[in-house]
Amino acid sequence: MKLQFAIDETSLAVDIHHCTVAGWTGRDALAIQHHIDELAALGVTPPSSVPLYYRVSSGILSQAPEIEVVGGSSSGEVEPLVLANGGHLYLGLASDHTDRDLESHSVALSKQVCLKPVADRLWHFDEVADHLESIEMRSWIQEAGSADWVLYQEGSLSAIRPLTDLIAGAGLEQAAGQDTAAAMLCGTLGAKGGVRPAQTFRMELRDPVKGRTISHEYRIFELPVVA
């Protein structure tokens, strides 16, 4: 999958051949259990271990302003995105959009069936490495029939396992080839009011130290379920 990103005043085109979704990455055991419980309420089987690294198709990443899903049971999750390319690491923003009905049958399969929206901007990882835990993530949703934005997720990267640990655990840098990149979505935050679908999803990654933000918004179009 070829994607193009803005980095400072330059651009970077990458050919992503390896993509991983890291799951159950909360650092706080109570927060992990909260997320497990909210998904268990939807019928999702608890993980065999934490964290888990789900391989997905590299073509699943999308910078489009809209995605199409089957039925009305999917929802987004704001997540940091780490990209390894040409011997360098970058930090970005993505949504682990997931089919919740399928998730109750197989988390691995549910990760594969929905496109993963990705913002079109990256930061050099070494520019944020010394203050990663202060970087903030937020998401908002517009629920069906409403034009109001509702705060859906909010927190900082301190709630997630250290990204360097996840990078090592997934073997991300080793997965990147000489001319190809590897990407990983690194885990999310609990949903305020519970996991639920929306018609539009907005997300941001904010660096309060350097005073900059990466953001992305996308609409969700439901395709009919045909039996």
Separation in Å, CA 5 to CA 2, 80, 196:
10, 15, 30
- The domain made up of 2-133+157-190 is a member of CATH 3.90.850.10: yes
Q: Point out the least confidently predicted range of 27-36, 128-137, 142-151, 197-206.
A: 27-36
pLDDT at position 144 is 86
Q: Assign 137 a pLDDT band (cuts: 50, 70, 90).
A: very high
pLDDT at position 162 is 97
User: What are the tokens at 75?
Assistant: 């929802």
Q: Please state, in angstroms and rounded to a whole number, the distance separating the CA atoms of residues 101 and 72.
A: 9
**CB–CB of 50/69 below 8 Å?**
no
DSSP string, 16-53: EEEEEEEES-BSSHHHHHHHHHHHHTTTPPPPSSSSEE
> In sequence order, what are the residues at sequence separation of 6 or more whose Cβ sits closer than 8 angstroms to the Cβ of residue 150?
140, 141, 142, 143, 193
DSSP letter for 114, please: S
> How many helices (DSSP H) and strands (DSSP E) are in the chain?
6, 16
Torsion of CA 124, 129, 134, 140, to 10 degrees: 40
pTM (two decimals): 0.93
Q: Point out the least confidently predicted range of 18-22, 30-34, 54-58.
A: 30-34
DSSP string, 132-150: GGG-EEEEEEE-TT----E
pLDDT above 70 covers a percentage of the chain that reads 100
Q: Assign 40 a pLDDT band (cuts: 50, 70, 90).
A: confident
Q: Which residues of 75-89 are buried (b: 16+ CB within 10 A; e: fewer)?
A: bbbbbbbbbbbeebb
